[in-house]
Structure 1
Amino acid sequence: MTPHPHPHLTLPETRARAIPAVLLRTPYDLRHHLPEARAWTTRGFAAVLQDVRGRHTAADTGTWHPYRSEAADTAATLRWMREQPWSDGRIVTVGASYAAYCALTAALGDHSGPAADDPAGRPDAVIAAVPALGPAETAREPSGAERLLGRAGWWAAHGDRADSDPAALDRALASDPRLLEHLPVTTLPERLGRPLPSWPALWHTGPRDLLVSRAPAARPPLLAVGGTRDPFAADTLRLWRAWGGPARLLLGPWGHALTANPAPEARAAHRINLGGLYVRWARAALDGTLAAGRRGAVALGDSPHWYAPDPAPPTVSRPFGHPEGLRLLHGGDFLADPGHPVRSDRLDIPAHRAPDRALLLTPPLPRPLDLFGPAEARLRATADTPAADWFVRLTALDPRGRAQPLALGTARRADPAGRSAEFTVPLGHLARRLAPGTRLRLEIAGHHFPAHARNPHTGEDPVTATRLLPSYRSVRMDGSALLLATGPGRRVNPVQENCT
């Protein structure tokens, strides 16, 4: 029986026996992946491409509901593939972003029906690049802060339609530059001029980590690929750490498009041939030659090297208000005004009559410093509203004063108004070499707009609120600090480390 939707099959030109296969399911038009399919077939694999239900070549198969049918549809396609005469029964599911979700849900999804435990509906190995692990993970930060700009762009381009319009949000913003300021957030479709019935429901998608919570039970090998500049980098790392079977990690100085989107700190040694790596890894995974446990390689930006991820890296503390730590420039007391929020699209510090953020700075580094591992800010702070978001942005200033982003973290708090609270803001995994003379700048603010929706400070849901109030904040120097992991450990070859 042919699965629903219909797959596109590419086979090697010559084959004398049954062969392994790869499956890529995507909402972004399978025709964009035809060169990728041919590359797999030249290396002896069958390649099956499939548009998800209701999209592009599968537009006639129903209405697309993001994330809803992928587990069942992927399992059905896997069973169909194993029934074909060219199949030797071994299959790798592959994909990036939403397609990575499709690849993963075949191994981890909550399949329903009588075939739920049928191994024919599960892959033998998974390659998940920049995985978008679910609607809850893509819509919100772990703290709960809403990822407004990214989701508005994605839904405008792809949501509730059979095709795609990647420039939809850009056109709308050109017509109305203040488009994302209008409230409530749920009325965005009206301003885009087309219906998006799934947009309001996106913000109420249930709990996070449904896939990650199942990862410890996973047995197929996993290759998780991410970029330190990718918004889903933290999810890539969490998935790799939780996976129960052999797990490999490749994390480079890239954005969401990986090697096609290198960061300024990328070097020649970071130009990995991902296609070649995927094939070599897939063969090792299917042949059972991957060692058990977790291994991987993380690139150190602004250096030519790759290192093994360190589960317990050494950490240094930069206390606030200390000459060798972070000196307060201004804003120990500041106003977080959603009517005039701190912008996510600007790294300069605009002049204000009253501070809109706490701004701290380290002395220039006397020698090179390698930041490699998790970073966090530990804050002792107060808000005069019971609802408050805290955004912490870490930036590197080179000796000429030019700024490069290093990390961003968020915390959503509901402390009693005016009561001092101590809390931690995770800043993700850093992998950067800083040159002598570099200074670290830390900003602590109440907003990060338009990347994130504005907290109205009223206790109302930020996506349905129509009323905004300012929030007065205070950051105490005593008890606050920036914690940085330093000193990468074992240097590795990224291909060898991931394929053995």
Structure 2
Amino acid sequence: MTSVYEAVGGLATDVRLPDGAGPFPAVLIRTPYDRTRHLAEARGWARRGFAAVVQDVRGRFASPGQWHPYKNEAADGLVTARWIRRQTWSDGRYVAIGASYAAHCALVLALDAEGEAEARPNAVIAAVPALGAAETAREPSGVERLLARAGWWAAHGDRRDSDEDALAKALAADPCLLTHLPLTGLPERLGRSLPSWAGLWQRRERGRLVSRATHADVPLLAIGGHHDHFTEDTVALWRAWGGPSARLLLGPWGHGLLAAPGPDAGPAHRVVLGELYARWARRALSRGLAPGRHGASALGGGDLWLPAGAEGEPRTLRLRLLRGSRFTADPERPVRSDDFTVHTRGIPDRCLLATPPLPRPLDAVGPVRVRLRATADTPSADWAVRLVALTPDGVAERLAVGVLRREEPTDGEFTFELGRATRRLRAGTQLRLEIAGHHFPAHARNPHTGDDPVTADQLLSSRREVDPASVTLTLHVLPSRPHSIDPAKEILR
């Protein structure tokens, strides 16, 4: 293998070539996370016959310029793509690949290259894709994703290098770091300049890449995790993709994929992603993929795989009220996203309902939906609904969460879409439904004053009332035990 350093468009770029005379197909990885961390990955691609091109995006690590997240990636990517196709070692074909922000870089090359068809990739691999600033910052309902964005901006925002542990270190020094108001003051509390932090929350233009995905004309492989905060975006991208083929792989993983397995991951869910990526890329470049949308989704807790898009039959589960049909949502003492402990003394801070223990195993595969009727006495109110599985062993595991924001009127009938579940629930498992006013620190606290939660400097308590008889929980349940499929066969078909 041969390794070469280039300054493509002025940006730091490493090229690793396979042995032999070539020419070769290429893979392009554009990353804000330090191209040198992709050395092993580049070697793996080169061993499989691909020229690996890895580039620091503008303003990050060895690349000059100013770092403006999501701003320059289409233009800079096109310069690099044209350069690849002019090289003597290139056979003219390349695959744009990446994970998280790097997946965004890959996608904009395929979707934003208007008038630049000759520079577009021949295929795209997008893992846990961060589709855009607005998608990463907010739920579709507008509720702010505080913890994940604070962690990312503390680690990577407005700086050339990264400090992955920046937020953890700041929280260790001040455990109440994220409770201080206003949230726009976070940079001062972190002790460094972070001018783009306030601007992040002004971005509300969701759905641009997904809407463009219908016009895609190249194959897509989308990879995600059931426990990743971008799961719904990954599935939406796959469903909307208009290229000749689209493949989806969803495992019981977090944002780090196999490096972040969930509690429901099993031995069958260990996939050699590098080998699968290379085999898919070969098929995509040779136009050997069958048309249409296919893929595989892991059945968490079941140690098997189902076809992507598989869905059970809707079933409404019976719930009984445990406590808290009237509760107080106090932003000074919010229900925490990282704690499943429920205190049963004092004024309730949430409405709790539960199913009886399941008499037999249940395979929940498909959307999770909750409907309810409720009221709040403040001009703005968030409603957070969390579904928790209480296993026969006494362990509490989060299954799904949905968050809505309602401005005046804050009463009425609400429908919560809690995403998709793909999970086997053992006999004896009890499902607990929690209806609260906050889900902190995963989401910013609604101050209940009507002010923007990011700029608010005052908090009010909110009295809530839920009609227990109105609450319905709908799962999609497979009517019989499923047979496992081979995820590689689905991806490569």
Indicate the TM-score class for this superposition, using the shorter chain for normalisation.
over 0.9
Q: Normalising to structure 2: TM-score of the pair?
A: 0.96
Whether contact under 8 Å (2:312, 2:364) holds in the other structure is no
**Structure 2 counterpart of 1:26:** 31
**Structure 2 counterpart of 1:321:** none
Q: One-letter code of the match for 1:164?
A: S
Displacement over 6 Å in runs of 4+: none
Alpha-carbon shift at residue 311 of structure 1 (Å): 5.9
1:69-468 counterparts in 2 under 5 A?
69-109=72-112, 111=113, 116-245=114-243, 246-310=245-309, 313-318=312-317, 325-417=318-410, 420-468=411-459
Whether contact under 8 Å (1:310, 1:489) holds in the other structure is no
- Give the Cα separation in 1 of the matches to 2:409 and 2:136: 29
- Give the Cα separation in 2 of the matches to 1:89 and 1:328: 63
Deviates further, 378-387 or 209-218: 378-387
| Other structure's SS at 1:404 match | strand
Deviates further, 276-285 or 307-316: 307-316
Q: One-letter code of the match for 2:8?
A: T
Whether contact under 8 Å (1:361, 1:439) holds in the other structure is yes
- Give the Cα separation in 2 of the matches to 1:301 and 1:383: 36
Whether contact under 8 Å (1:143, 1:410) holds in the other structure is yes
Counting matched residue pairs gives 484
Q: Against the structure 1 CA distance between its residues 118 and 359, is the aligned structure 2 distance closer, same or farther, given a 3 Å change threshold?
A: same
Deviations 1:32-72 (A, max 9, x none): 001000100001100000000010121xx201001110011
Alpha-carbon shift at residue 489 of structure 1 (Å): 6.1
Whether contact under 8 Å (1:138, 1:151) holds in the other structure is yes
Alpha-carbon shift at residue 376 of structure 1 (Å): 1.3
**Structure 2 counterpart of 1:322:** none
1:55 paired with 2:48, answer: no
- Give the Cα separation in 2 of the matches to 1:96 and 1:44: 21
Q: Normalising to structure 1: TM-score of the pair?
A: 0.95
- Give the Cα separation in 2 of the matches to 1:313 and 1:103: 33
Q: One-letter code of the match for 2:20?
A: T
Q: One-letter code of the match for 1:190?
A: E
Q: Structure 2 residue aligned with 1:35, among 40, 45, 55?
A: 40
Q: How well do the aligned residues superpose, as a CA RMSD in angstroms?
A: 1.3
Alpha-carbon shift at residue 260 of structure 1 (Å): 1.0
Alpha-carbon shift at residue 204 of structure 1 (Å): 0.6
Greater share of strand residues, 1 or 2? 2
Q: One-letter code of the match for 1:317?
A: T
Q: One-letter code of the match for 1:14?
A: G
- Give the Cα separation in 1 of the matches to 2:437 and 2:485: 40
| Other structure's SS at 1:275 match | helix
Alpha-carbon shift at residue 312 of structure 1 (Å): 5.3
Q: One-letter code of the match for 1:9?
A: V
Alpha-carbon shift at residue 344 of structure 1 (Å): 1.0
- Give the Cα separation in 1 of the matches to 2:465 and 2:42: 55
Deviations 1:388-443 (A, max 9, x none): 111111111012321011111111112425xx411211111111101110000110
**Structure 2 counterpart of 1:472:** 463
Alpha-carbon shift at residue 302 of structure 1 (Å): 1.0
Whether contact under 8 Å (1:212, 1:242) holds in the other structure is yes
Alpha-carbon shift at residue 362 of structure 1 (Å): 0.5
Q: One-letter code of the match for 1:326?
A: L
